[in-house]
Structure formats: structure tokens, C-alpha cells
Structure 1
Amino acid sequence: MLNNTPREFAFTEQDFEKVRVMIYNYAGIALTPAKHDMVYGRLARRLRALGLRTFNEYLQVLDRGDSKEFELFANSLTTNLTSFFRESHHFPMLADHLKAQRSSGVLNLWCSASSTGEEAYSMAITACEAFDSLRPPVHIIATDLDTGVLETAKQGIYGADEVEKLEGQRAKRYFEKQSDGRYRVRQELRDMIVYRKVNLMEPNWPIRGPLDAIFCRNVMIYFDKPTQLKVLQRFAPLLKPDGLLFVGHSENLYHAADIFKLRNKTVYERVISGAAAPGPATMARPGSSGFSR
């Protein structure tokens, strides 16, 4: 529904439908009509920045193939709600899984929607605690569609209000207080993580299996069922046979029961039926392992 309140920029239903098609085709995000006002509010900032008068003018800029502006367009429409140890029940389960793989050499994890980094650093802290070491044998690749939040994640600097509420001695052990009162994640943890831009709709991901775990939490809720299924079909061959997929508290994979089965609360494992047949777009070259760095 159109909001009848006078607006700064002309934004028609046709404009909204075009935005919906663009972001769906690019990022798989399925915007419902209820997101009309949200889309206006987020993209209006781009119109102001560019000195435009209508959304039609803005959509023409995108149609002309301005790749930088399209990146900012996509960044504007992604949601980046996150925090350290969000959905905390997952991290003891990750710790137990890592401990069980202790004799397997280097363990590889993928944080597939890392946002500003709190989730990836929570995974790194969990690994440190599981191995009682600041340099555990764990590599994490952390990816996101939004290039802006990735830059924040790489810096690893957070406000005192976020860090000081962490349990126990985590703030003291894993962060260094800066002169401005903020905290920076210790270098050892930052060294564990590689940040990359990855669009889950891309035909080729710079991710190599086999992986011990994938975190893809609160991402599927933005996809329709066919898109969810395509992503899950690509996740499965990247995981080790005993690898785990962590999803958000409001997500379930019932429609992919032939690919993943529930292990525990919102944690899934692969359904193994016969020999695994990894797809060429998602797996490493023969003889290679780990991540594309």
C-alpha cells in the first residue's frame, strides 16, 4: 500500500515493484508489500546523496549499470541486526563439535552472513575456549553481501556497551581497550578470520569444502522457499559428512528434509544417502581444501 503522507520524493507502486525485482534477482531477497515504507526510507538517503528528485530517476541510474551505486543500493536494503553471542545456545554446541574434531587437524568454519563481525568473533572466541588457546587450529571465513559492514568487521572495534556486557572474563581476555573507550578484538582472533564479500545468489562462491560448520542464521527468512532450497542444496556438499549447519531461531528446514535433518535446536546435519556428489560450482579443485584466500 502507498503511504498517503506527502513525501520528499515521488515513489510509485511501479517504482516499488521494480525495486523488488532488482533486489530479488540480485540478492534473493523477497520484499513483501509491507516493506514499502522501509524501502522508501532507506533508498531516500541515496536520492539525497545523488541530488535526485524521484525514484524513477534513481532507478534509471541503476539501469545504466553503475556498479558502485548498485552496491550501495543493495547495502541499503540488507538488514544487519547482530550482537555478540546472539542466540547463545548455539555456541556451546559449536564448542562441543570442535572438541569432538580435535584430532582432525585444522577446522574450517563459514559465517555466511557476518554483518559487522560480532557473530564471526563469537565463533572465534568459542574456538579459543574449546581449545583453551588464543591460537586454536580453526580458520573462519566470514562473508556478507554488504561491503560497508564488512569493513566494520575487519576493523574489529566495538563500543564499550557491547563488549563490557560479555560473560566472565571475555572482555578482558579477547579485547583490548582503546584510548577512546572502545574495544578492539585481539589480533590473534582477527588472524583467524578472513572477510569476503559473497552474494549467496552468485553462481560461484569463493568457498572450498570440506567445512566443519556453516552459520547461516536469520538469512533464510529473507528468501522465498525456492531460493532457500537452492542455497541449501549448495551448502550440503560443502559440509563434511558430520558437519553442522546453524540457522536462526525462527527458521526451519522442513522443506529440505531430504538434504538436512535436525540435530538439535536449530542445528542441522546433512542427510547422507550414498556417495556424496559435490557440485562443481561450490567445491574445491581436486586435492585442495579449506578456503579460497
Structure 2
Amino acid sequence: MVEITEKEFKQLTEYVKKNYGINLKTEKKVLVMGRLQGVLLDAGCNSFTEYFKYVLADRTGQAVITLIDKISTNHTFFMRESGHFDFLRDHVLPGLKESVHEKDLRIWCAAASTGEEAYTLAMLLDEYLGPEKSWWDKKILATDISQSALETAVRGIYSDERITPLPVHWKQNYFRRYDEGNWIVEGRIRNEIIFRKFNLMESFFPFKKKFHVIFCRNVMIYFDNETRDLLVDKFYSHLESGGYLFIGHSETINRERSGFQYIMPAVYRKN
């Protein structure tokens, strides 16, 4: 195994934090080293210094995509923190249904990972709007930093085990058997989502319109306080007045400096 020195770990993690916001603490050193062993081997690198130079020199961008894919955590599942979806259905959507102009409902799933959260939102919207759905422009933007996670999301194929948390009628209405042990999300639901690769550390968010709802759950736990505060400010500026931000239950927002109003655990509203 190629060992990573303290200097190499510092060099690599500072680059990742500066460009992608991920704050890899010292206790993650063994994890990083283990996840990147195969990458070093494939690249023909005998040290992490060589590997770092290889990443910086690669003009195709593939090397850094692979780096981020390996060190980022893409753990998610259908109906994760299900209380958020109940609140969205019972409290947020009824208000938006009455107030959104020209039936243009804009939702951003800002850390889409392998797609479960975005598809849960799409299925919830389909059920909530019912026959009125065709009148609405309600496509969901789903972004993530990981190319491999997004490729899984776009395919929309999940195992029997992965779809277990879903309501039975959702499984029947929104999935069809793909092969032995796997299901695929129905095309009409997959078509409701626009998947894009996007880095939340970008200084400029290229969105023409503001969102009514933003989900960004279980991502900011990997950021330091300064990075998290700056991202929360960006979310605030890209939400419509009265819009909602959903974060993870293990995450917090500095309410003394943020304009967000606390609604319930991990749910905030722009005044």
C-alpha cells in the first residue's frame, strides 16, 4: 500500500477544501489513503505527491472527477428523514399551490447523490398534484458533485432492498421490473428531473430564476463553519420570498447571521 505523508495529506485536503468545500479532517487520513489506492495504481503513481501532480496536470478534468468520486460520501436512500416529505406535502405544497405564479414550481435537490431524494420528490409531486399535474411546470433540478453518483441517478435502477422504504402504491405506480432483483423508475417520473453536475463551491450560481424549495441534506456536515455560512447565504439569495430550505438533521444554520426563519428541525423559511 502506498502511504500518504502528513505533508501530502495536507496538500491534497487543502486542494479539495478550497475547490469543493469538503473538509477532510486528520482522522480521515486512512480512509482517503484506502479509497485512492486503486486510483494511484491505475495512474502509475508511486506516491501521493506524484498523484497530486497528475491530478493538476490532467487537462481533461477526468482525474479530479475520479478524485472527488472516491472521497465523497454518496450514502442516501428513499424516504430518508421522511418527516421532511410529510411536511412538504402537508404544509409547503398547499401554500405554494395557491401562491406560485403561472404554475411555475421550482425545486432544487442540491445534493442529489444517486437519485433517491430527487425521485422521492418527483413521486410526491405526482401524487399531490394528481390530475392537475399537466397544468404545472414542475421539473426538479437535481445536482451533485459526483459524476458516478449522477450516472446512477440518471439510470434510475434500484434493487428490491433499496425501494423497500417506499409506500406500496408508489412501488406499483412508479416502478417497473428491470431484471431479477432490480426495478427501474418509470420514464414519466425520470423525465420530471433534470440531473446536472454542479459544484456548490462555485462563486456564481447560474440560475435564471429563484427556487421555491431547496433540499440540501447531509452535505454541509462535511464543510467548516465559514464554508457552510457562505453556502447558506447563496441558498438564501436563490430562494423566493417564503421559500423553504431543507437540511439534514445533523446540520445547523447560524440563525444569528442568517435571514432564515426556523420552522422545525432542519427546515427553514426565507422571510
Q: Could you list the per-position Cα deviations for residues 1-39 of structure 1 after superposition, in whole angstroms to 9, with x for gaps in the alignment?
A: xxxxxxx11311111001111100110111111111111
SS at 1:101 equivalent: helix
SS at 1:195 equivalent: strand
Unaligned runs of 5+ residues in structure 1 are 1-7, 273-293
Return structure 1 stretches of 4+ with deviation > 6 angstroms.
none
2:119 partner letter = Y
Corresponding position: 1:209 with 2:209: yes
Q: Could you list the per-position Cα deviations for residues 126-150 of structure 1 after superposition, in whole angstroms to 9, with x for gaps in the alignment?
A: 1112113594632200000001110
Which of 94, 98, 111 is residue 93 of structure 2 equivalent to? 98
- Name the residue aligned to 2:78: 84
Q: Supply the distance in 2 between the matched residues of 1:133 and 1:41 (Cα, whole angstroms).
A: 51
Which of 5, 8, 13 is residue 15 of structure 1 equivalent to? 8
Q: Shift of the alpha carbon at 1:42?
A: 1.1
- Name the residue aligned to 2:31: 38
Contact 1:99–1:130 (CA under 8 A) maintained in structure 2: no
Task: Write the mapping of 1:43-82 to structure 2, written as runs, cut at 5 A.
Answer: 43-66=36-59, 67-82=61-76
- Name the residue aligned to 2:174: 174
Contact 2:106–2:213 (CA under 8 A) maintained in structure 1: yes
Corresponding position: 1:26 with 2:19: yes
Q: Supply the distance in 1 between the matched residues of 2:256 and 2:44 (Cα, whole angstroms).
A: 46
Q: Could you list the per-position Cα deviations for residues 197-244 of structure 1 after superposition, in whole angstroms to 9, with x for gaps in the alignment?
A: 110111222333321100010111111111111111111121111110
Q: Supply the distance in 2 between the matched residues of 1:251 and 1:179 (Cα, whole angstroms).
A: 38
Larger displacement relative to structure 2 (212-221 or 200-209):
200-209
> What number of residue pairs does the alignment pair up?
264
Task: Write the mapping of 1:80-229 to structure 2, written as runs, cut at 5 A.
Answer: 80-96=74-90, 97-103=92-98, 104=100, 105-133=103-131, 135=133, 137=136, 138-229=138-229
SS at 1:243 equivalent: strand
1:109 partner letter = I
Identity %: 34
* Alignment RMSD (CA, Å): 1.6
SS at 2:241 equivalent: strand
Q: Supply the distance in 2 between the matched residues of 1:169 and 1:83 (Cα, whole angstroms).
A: 18
Larger displacement relative to structure 2 (255-264 or 118-127):
255-264
Unaligned runs of 5+ residues in structure 2 are none
Q: Shift of the alpha carbon at 1:106?
A: 2.3
Larger displacement relative to structure 2 (223-232 or 252-261):
252-261
Q: Could you list the per-position Cα deviations for residues 98-142 of structure 1 after superposition, in whole angstroms to 9, with x for gaps in the alignment?
A: 222224212110000000000100111111121135946322000
Q: Supply the distance in 2 between the matched residues of 1:21 and 1:209 (Cα, whole angstroms).
A: 33
TM-score (norm 1): 0.86
